[in-house]
Amino acid sequence: MTTNDHSPAFLEFLAAHFQDGERLPSLAQISREMGISIAALREQLEVARALGLVEVRPKTGIRRLPYTFLPAVLQSLRYATGVNAENFRLFAELRTHIEASYWYQAVALLTPQDLAELMSLVQRAEARLAGSPPENPHGEHKELHLSIYRRLNNPFVNGILEAYWELYEAAGLAVVNEHDYLRTVWQYHRKMIEAICSGDLDVGYQALVDHTDLLYKRPQAAPRQRFE
Amino acid sequence: MTTNDHSPAFLEFLAAHFQDGERLPSLAQISREMGISIAALREQLEVARALGLVEVRPKTGIRRLPYTFLPAVLQSLRYATGVNAENFRLFAELRTHIEASYWYQAVALLTPQDLAELMSLVQRAEARLAGSPPENPHGEHKELHLSIYRRLNNPFVNGILEAYWELYEAAGLAVVNEHDYLRTVWQYHRKMIEAICSGDLDVGYQALVDHTDLLYKRPQAAPRQRFE
DNA sequence: TTATCTGATTAATCAGATGAATACACCGCC
DNA sequence: GGCGGTGTATTCATCTGATTAATCAGATAA
């Protein structure tokens, strides 16, 4: 009550008066229009920037950006993992649940061209794994997962999935994995994509769930137990 | 690259040097320690406050709060719905997917006392529905859903679920529903809780999925189709 | 055409002054 | 001794003005 009556007036101002990509007036002018000082305005502007809602540069000024959920998640998540590393595991668990629960819906939206690109991702990854020296196809791994869910066009789902990968990389996990583990993972990936191509959505789903269980054990994986 | 090299120095400072509930030095002192002006510091402080990481008051100063994901989600989500109301539907869809995918895991953690309280929630809601005049048991509805997943102790899951209800109320949807619809919903709620109590987790799951489908149609509801 | 210089615009940062909210000790009163 | 009001010091809240740095666009020269 007494502590947080902070209503973000600038965010409302931003949402109400401008379009994506549109340039805002200068700080001095906004400050006059909103009836607050530049210093106070800048404090709120910094929040908008942290949430990824505006881009601001000298001379160019302030520009509204298309909405994305990612920066908000990332800011909070970075702090959370800094305070307690266990939080990353909890977030990773959420990510696997979201991937599993959106599987059928997301896969149904993929176009033939999407599938071709996914298949080429698998091949490129396998080539890198089989090379000498073998490389960790992390970029392909990330892109494969994100591509499957991109057509959902759900900024919240996509923001969470992207935040996972961003933090995964920041934590340095993108390089450490052993070769055997990676080979196994990519066998599952191939199975997933091939299953989608042939319409065996259930097989693909099972491959998805199994391959995430390789990394994070999911105590009572929800839909899987229905098979037994 | 050039636009967003903003590293939130204060957030790191906060995570590194203090504990939950601990009081920070005064702004003037932090400003000296971090080597930046008070104005610049306050801009970053405002971000921390928007993320719900600190509580700040005159005389008392700045206090670090226990981590919560909720404020970050809420800030971004409020803006998103302000820009495009469709975003609320997309977020609501995410919420139903998360509830469904965590069902078995969450229910397994409920204690006998939790179940008793859930059952009493159902009874209280039914009483309000049957009263004259009948009332919309919105508080019970919200509490029922949140209670089921609270034991997961996952700040990200809980933050998203809480954000949904907060925005649901802010949108004024908490009062408009028709009596027939509400009666049906609470039949499902009773079914869910009774199923949990008797160990029929699958029946409860089905009731959960069906009752959310009353409001938001989920095109290819993932795990449900496995039943046919 | 390409690269460099120049000027104007805007944000970035800072220091300082004033005001307002709050906690806490103090004092007088019952 | 307990209680309630009062004062006071501490801290954030807000504003102002000045200076610095970054960036863009247009002019100029190679």
Rounded mean pLDDT, B173-179: 70
With beta carbons under 8 A apart, name residues in chain B contacting A104: 220-222, 225
Query: In chain B, how long is the greatest CA-to-CA distance?
Result: 67
Tokens 């805002």 locate to A24
Residue B174 has pLDDT above 90, yes or no: no
Q: Which residues pair with A63 in a beta bridge?
A: A23, A55
pLDDT at A225: 37
Say which CATH number the domain at B108 has. Answer: 1.20.120.530
Distance in angstroms, CA of B60 to C1' of C24?
A: 11
| Domain assignment present for B83 | no
B-chain residues near A157 (CB < 8 A) = 90, 94
Q: Over chain B, what is the mean pLDDT?
A: 90
Pair (B104, B60) in one structural domain? no
**pLDDT for residue A123 is more than 80:** yes
Subunit contact A101:B101, Cβ cutoff 8 A: yes
Residue A56, CB, strand C, below 7 Å: yes
Give contacts of A101 with chain B, Cβ < 8 Å: 97-98, 100-101, 222-223
Q: Which residues pair with B187 in a beta bridge?
A: none
8 A C-beta contact, residue B151 and residue B110: yes
Domain match, A82 and A177 both:
yes
For residue A189, give the amino acid letter: H
Nearest alpha-carbon partner for B82 in A29, A25, A37, A64: A64
B22 plus B125 within the same structural domain: no
Whichever domain contains A24, its CATH number is 1.10.10.10
∠ CA A103-A108-A110, nearest 5°, is 100
| Span A46-79, pLDDT tens digits | 999 999 999 999 999 999 999 999 999 999 999 9
For residues A107-113, give the mean pLDDT.
97
Q: What's CA A181's distance to the chain center, in Å?
A: 23
What's the rounded Cα separation, in Å, for the pair A13 and B9? 27
Res A17 pLDDT > 70: yes
Residues of chain B neighbouring A75 (CB-CB closer than 8 A): 8, 11, 47, 51, 72
Residue A37 has pLDDT above 60, yes or no: yes
Q: Are residues A126 and A167 in the same domain?
A: yes
Of B185, B186, B190, B179, nearest in space to B135 by CA: B179
* Alpha-carbon span B53 to B47, nearest angstrom: 9
Residues A216 and A155 in one domain: yes
Residue A45, pLDDT above cutoff 70: yes
Tell whether B60 and B98 lie within a shared domain. Answer: no
* Judgement on whether residues A170 and A105 belong to the same structural domain of the protein: yes
Q: Is B181 on the interface with A (CB under 8 A)?
A: no
Residue A82 lies in a domain: yes
Looking at the domain assignment, is residue A124 inside a domain? yes
Is B165 found in the same domain as B53?
Answer: no
Q: Residue B169: name the closest of B98, B80, B63, B74 by CA.
A: B74
Average pLDDT, stretch B188-196? Answer: 97
Q: Is residue B76 part of a domain?
A: no
The Å distance, CA of B4 to C1' of C6, is: 28
Chain A, window 21-40: residues with a beta carbon less than 8 angstroms from a chain B beta carbon = 39
B100 lies in the same domain as B30: no
DSSP at B172: T
In a domain, A29, yes or no: yes
Domain membership of residue B151 (yes or no) is yes
**Closest nucleotide to B29's CA, by C1' atom?**
D11
Tell me what pLDDT residue B172 has: 74
Cis ω on the peptide bond leading into residue A112 (within 30° of 0)?
A: no
Mark whether B58 and B102 lie in a shared domain: no
Does residue A159 sit in the same domain as residue A136?
Answer: yes
- pLDDT value at position A176? 59
A3 within a domain of the structure (yes/no) = no
Residue A2, domain member (yes or no): no
- For B41 and C27, how far is CA from C1' in angstroms? 40
A63 CA, D24 C1': Å apart: 15
Check pLDDT > 60 for residue A85.
yes
Query: What is the number of structural domains in chain B?
Result: 2
- Tell me the count of A-B CB pairs closer than 8 A: 180
pLDDT of residue A222: 44
Domain carrying residue B159:
94-227
Q: Are B90 and A107 in contact (CB under 8 A)?
A: no
Q: State the residue for tokens 């899987």.
A: A224
Residue A141 sits in the same domain as residue A193: yes
Indicate if the pLDDT at residue B227 is higher than 60. no
> Is residue B5 predicted with pLDDT exceeding 60?
no
Question: What digits encode the pLDDT tens for the residues B21-58?
Answer: 999 999 999 999 999 999 999 999 999 999 999 999 99
Q: In the prediction, which pLDDT does B221 show?
A: 38
